[in-house]
Structure 1
Amino acid sequence: MSFIADKQTLDDLGILNRYRSDAVFTLFNQVKTNGGERLLEEMFRNVLTNEQEMNDRSNTFRYFQQLSLVFPFSREQADAMEDYLGAGHQKRLPATLLAIVGKKLTGAFVGDKSFVALVSGVQTTIAVLKLMRTFVNKIDEHAGDHPFSASINELKRILDDKRIAVVWKEKAERINSVSLLAKFDYLFRAVLYTEMKQLLTMMYQLDVIITVSNIAKDRGFSYATALEKGKHVFRASDLRHPGIKKAVGNTLELSAQSNLIFLTGANMAGKSTIMKSFGIAVYMAHIGFPVAASEMTFSVKDGLFSSINVPDNLQMGYSHFYAEVLRVKKVAEAVAKSKDLVIIFDELFKGTNVKDAYDATLSVTKAFATFRNCFFLVSTHIVEVGAALQEDTDDIQFLFMPTIMEGNVPRYTYQLTKGISADRHGMKIIENEGIIDIIRSAATAFPDKV
């Protein structure tokens, strides 16, 4: 079973797009190697499926965060070793020696660079092995039981292999004879090829783990505790958007008894930001990554849907409103399949008139709230819907983002408050921007255009 999070949701929340400077992936993509970047993207795309996997990964990050290690390998070293190991090998030492002699002669007479590349590959591999042994010893100084212990022990097994002992006696810069070069090339790409590939893979894992844990420490992120599916719990303290430094934190709590938050507030008050913060935290917790909160506990869900920036589809002939309807239908179909989902609706049905939007938002919200196995965060400007819901239900949380007017200037606290917004400051903001004055001045200046 896989976690459901479609492209619309990932785009809404700004999670994966590596080309967006504000994407969550970009925030964590400070790895030192290309292999580390590939692994990081794979971890982002492949959501974990049970609480043990999530907690193990979180605990690994937490453990390395305490160590505050610096990844010792460069991108150039990792690329060179990967290219070298992937360039093929001979199955016998004599064949390896003959092939190297051929490369050297070809390089001398026709300028072929393959011999130079081979020397560089062997030298880099020796340097990486020595660095890795020093690095593993440093980790071993802080030895303790943690989820990455098995991988560290596997690294130690490879590095303690008697067949590799010859490496510790040689200096990489002295690999200048054909016979010695053939000896090491055969060792790395034939005898110990599987072990060298394993070591490279674990290098990339360490790159990601150290990078992510150091970013978490720098940004003040924490590690969520995952509970088994069916517990229907979400609790987060000081929840904020990971991309905003010094953001105002908020507390969110959902359960089977109170599974829907109805959110109101003025434009710019912070509704969309808290909704994205919630969705991002849910997703990141499900891949075992740090979350932008001081504390978080959650039960495993089957998927995450959002409807924040639903585009129209001119090619299909869909209006914005019809695109919204189709989005809500897709979510309803998933909910109807008894999936445990987290669902975020920002400004439902804003593509139609106020009366239809009121009726549709009220009906859809009431219907969704009956599915206790799902969590919902629904926002709207139509505060009258909230009043109607309060009359019919007693298990919906009503929260709003306040706007405080200081004279004619709005100030936003970005702090969730219980209740339904009574803010009516839209015209004040329009007046502050002088829009009406601009129109009136234009009408006076160009009466023939009016």
Structure 2
Amino acid sequence: MSFFADKQTLNDLNIPGRHKNNSISRLFDEVITAGGRKLMDEMFQYPLTDYDAINKRSSIFKYFTGNNIQFPFTQAEFGIMENYLASGSNSNRLAVGIGVISKKVMQIAAQDTAYQLLNDDVCQTIALLNRFSAFAATLPVEESQYKQQIENVKTIFNNKDLIWLKQETGIANLTLLKIVKYDHLLRTRLHEQMNQLLELLFQLDVYIAVANVASRMGFCYATALPKHSNTLSVSRLFHPTVRNAIGNSLSMDESRNVIFLTGANMAGKSTLMKAFGISLYLAHMGFPVAADEMTFSVKDGLFSSINVSDNLEMGYSHFYAEVMRVKTVAEQVAADKDLIVIFDELFKGTNVKDAYDATLSITEAFSNNRNCFFIISTHIVEVGEALRERCQNFRFTYLPTVMEGSVPRYTYRLTEGITADRHGMMIIENEGILEIIRGTTSETK
């Protein structure tokens, strides 16, 4: 079973879509091979819930991050080898020979290019295989999770049917007999071994791409713990696609499984919550996270309610869409799943009185599920004051606003407590909106 996040959550956190601006998938999209891109997509679609598997994968990424290793092929030259090896058949050597001879005859009789193209493909593949063999020999041999993959590569190249490979280094043209022999070996007799090499190369492509992003962006690798540990600790967490982002530290466990977040508009609440969700999703993939340090116990899934909108097709108002979203999460929590839940301003689609009552009752009810972690934000600070009197498992935090005259400045640094900051009207006044409506701006005078 893989770590679960539904479509709403993935879109809230802007995780899928390598072609989407600032998506998390796009951030890591530095792979070179088509097979590597497919493997990367699978990793994003199916995060892990086995802490040992997570740690094994992240240790491989860490190995490549620490050793500054570059992928040994360009996209164009790898594509030639990939296409050639992927077109293997079950033909015996005689059938291969007849096919090659036919191409040679057509070259002589009709200046057909098929024979020369086959020669070029075989020579290019030989050159790249030799390069990969030499590359594998240079990889640091140390106690790491990637050690077995290195051994697998060396085992394939030590196959007695590939002894000839190094003897053909730098060759540009082969005799007809050698083309028949090598083509049969590479695409038929050793077809399974070549597929194994391609898979190892796809993995290598992903490992190097992710490691390069981690190194360039200053990300760390999280340590996964068993589910029963029920803990989370992250230092200097920041949003991976926000320039010069401010880092914040968070911690949660069974005794403090709810973070209640307040703060004025533009103070950074939504960005912090998205950063939190993204870090948990990437951590369950074994990918690097935007933080200095992170330790977490594995969970079953992640749900968020950040950008819930009305649904005209279903006839849902904004408020009813919010209610249905909370119901969906409640059903998952009631199913005794260990979840991470992010609610950004619950019930903002209704009046303040209903929003207060609903936020208070729903938040308190959710918090009793100590196997789940919640981060909940609201502008209704009175809810926080009521919860502080009734619940002992909350951590109350806020993102402050510093007033410089009539201009608000935001520190984006998480602070303990509950804030009553409200500067909506001040921002409206600073923008001169009322003057525009009244027609009293300087431009109209």
Find the aligned partners of 1:198 and 1:382 in 2 and give their Cα distance: 58
Cα deviation for residue 91 of structure 1 reads 2.7
| Partners of 1:401 and 1:443 in 2: CA distance | 33
State the SS of the aligned residue for 2:262. Answer: strand
- Deviations for 1:162-212, whole angstroms, at most 9, x for unmatched residues? 211101011454333222111110110111111111111111111111111
- Which residue of the partner structure matches residue 87 of structure 1? 87
The answer to whether the 8 A contact 2:119-2:173 is kept is yes
Amino acid at match of 2:213: I
State the 1:103 CA deviation. 2.7
In 1, the alpha carbon distance for the partners of 2:379 and 2:105 equals: 77
CA–CA separation in structure 1 for the residues paired with 2:79 and 2:54: 30
Distance 1:183 1:445, change over 3 A: closer
Partner of 1:37: 37
Residues 1:64 and 2:64 are matched in the alignment? yes
Give 1:241's aligned residue.
239
Give distance in 2, aligned partners of 1:233 and 1:113: 64
Give the secondary-structure state (helix, strand or coil) at the position aligned to 2:4. coil
Partner Cα separation in structure 2 for residue 159 and residue 444 of structure 1: 79
SS at match of 2:310: coil
User: Given the alignment, which residue of 282, 302, 305 partners 1:304?
Assistant: 302
Answer whether contact 1:369 1:376 (CA < 8 A) is retained.
Answer: yes
Q: Which runs of 5+ in 1 are unaligned?
A: none
Pairwise CA RMSD: 1.8
Q: 1:175 to 1:431 in 2, by over 3 A?
A: same
Which residue in the other structure is 2:371 paired with? 373
Query: 1:294 — aligned with what?
Result: 292
Q: How does 1:397-408 map to 2 (within 5 A)?
A: 397-408=395-406
Identity fraction in percent: 51
Contact 2:120/2:172 (<8 A) preserved: no
For residues 134-184 of structure 1, what are the alpha-carbon distances to aligned partners after superposition, in whole Å with 9 as ceiling and x for unaligned? 111110xx2111111111100000111121110101145433322211111
Equivalent of 1:386 in 384, 387, 402? 384
User: What is the letter of the counterpart of residue 214 of structure 1?
Assistant: N
**Residue type of the partner of 1:38?**
K
The answer to whether the 8 A contact 1:90-1:96 is kept is no
1:223-279 Cα deviation digits (max 9, x unpaired): 101000121100000001111232110000010101001101111110001100100
TM-score scaled by structure 1? 0.95
TM-score (norm 2): 0.96
Other-structure match for 1:347: 345
Q: Retained in 2: the 8 A contact 1:224–1:285?
A: yes
User: What CA distance in whole angstroms lies between the structure 1 residues aligned with 2:409 and 2:158?
Assistant: 63
- The whole-number CA distance in structure 2 between the counterparts of 1:324 and 1:223 is 34
Rounded to whole Å, the distance in 2 between the matches of 1:206 and 1:227 is: 26
Indicate if the aligned counterparts of 1:320 and 1:351 stay in contact, CA closer than 8 A: yes
- Name 1:410's counterpart in structure 2: 408
Q: Does 1:131 align with 2:143?
A: no
Given candidates 220, 223, 227, the residue that maps to 1:222 is 220
- Decide whether aligned partners of structure 1 residues 261 and 90 sit closer, same or farther in structure 2, where only a CA change above 3 A counts: closer
Is residue 2:15 matched to residue 1:15?
A: yes
Equivalent residue letter for 1:9: T
Write the deviation string for residues 4-38 of structure 1: whole angstroms up to 9, x where unpaired: 21111111001122221201111111112222111
Contact 1:175/1:181 (<8 A) preserved: no
What residue identity is the alignment partner of 2:115? F
Q: Are 1:270 and 2:247 counterparts? A: no
Aligned amino acid, residue 123 of structure 1: C
CA contact (8 A) 1:54 1:288 kept: yes
The CA distance in 2 between the partners of 1:86 and 1:262, in whole Å, is 54
Kindly provide the amino acid, as one letter, of the partner of residue 128 in structure 1: L
How big is the shift at 1:90?
4.8
1:52-84 CA-partner distances (Å, limit 9, x unpaired) = 000011111111111111111111222212211
Deviations 1:316-346 (A, max 9, x none): 1111111111110000000000000000001
Give the direction of change, closer, same or farther, for the CA distance of 1:112–1:384 in structure 2 (3 Å limit).
farther
Q: Unaligned 5+ residue runs, structure 2?
A: none
Q: Give the whole-Å Cα distance in 2 for the aligned partners of 1:323 and 1:181.
A: 65
The residue type equivalent to 1:43 in the other structure is M
Alignment correspondent of 1:47: 47
TM-fit CA distance, 1:87: 1.9
Contact 2:130 2:169 in 1 (8 A): no
Do the aligned partners of 2:224 and 2:298 also contact (CA within 8 Å) in 1? yes
With 102-111 and 284-293 compared, the bigger mean Cα shift is at 102-111
